[in-house]
Amino acid sequence: MPEAGVEGDFLSDQKRVAAFKKKHGLRSSPEHAALDLASEVGELAKEILSSSDYGRKRFKKTRAAAGELGDVYYSLLFLANELGVDADAELCGALRKYEARLRKRGSPGSK
């Protein structure tokens, strides 16, 4: 896995999603793509909660959860393409922001 701040395969993944979209003639408004992403995150959360008996048991990775995470990743990159956003550049910016917060406040969270 690439170091934080080092360009990895994220951009090539975004290009693969764009090529898939083009090959299959998929079109979506940013609003619809954002709703699809939210839906996929909900499905992932549902699988994690179900697999952990709603937090009563320790979560163990399941094939279903991994598949849902793949759906989330695809939907995120699809949305980035619809918005014309370079997801890799934005990830690098976010990592720099969190790094600065950790140095300054000891926590990556916002105030």
CA distance 38 to 100: 28
Evaluate whether 30 touches 83 at the Cβ level (below 8 Å): yes
Evaluate whether 108 touches 101 at the Cβ level (below 8 Å): yes
Evaluate whether 48 touches 65 at the Cβ level (below 8 Å): yes
Tens of pLDDT, residues 9-49: 666 999 999 999 999 999 999 999 999 999 999 999 999 99
Domains of the chain: residue spans and CATH? 29-103 (1.10.287.1080)
Tens of pLDDT, residues 52-77: 999 899 999 999 999 999 999 999 99
User: How many CB atoms lie under 10 A from the CB of residue 40?
Assistant: 20
Residue 4 parent element (H or E): none
At 23 the pLDDT is 95
Question: Is the confidence at residue 2, as pLDDT, over 60?
Answer: no
Angle between helices 30-51 and 63-83 in degrees, nearest 10: 160
pTM score, whole prediction: 0.83
CA distances to 26, 37, 84, 88 from 76, rounded to whole Å, are 15, 6, 12, 12
Q: Among 2-6, 28-32, 85-89, whose mean pLDDT is lowest?
A: 2-6
Q: How confident is the model at residue 1 (pLDDT cuts 50, 70, 90)?
A: very low
37 residue type, one letter: L
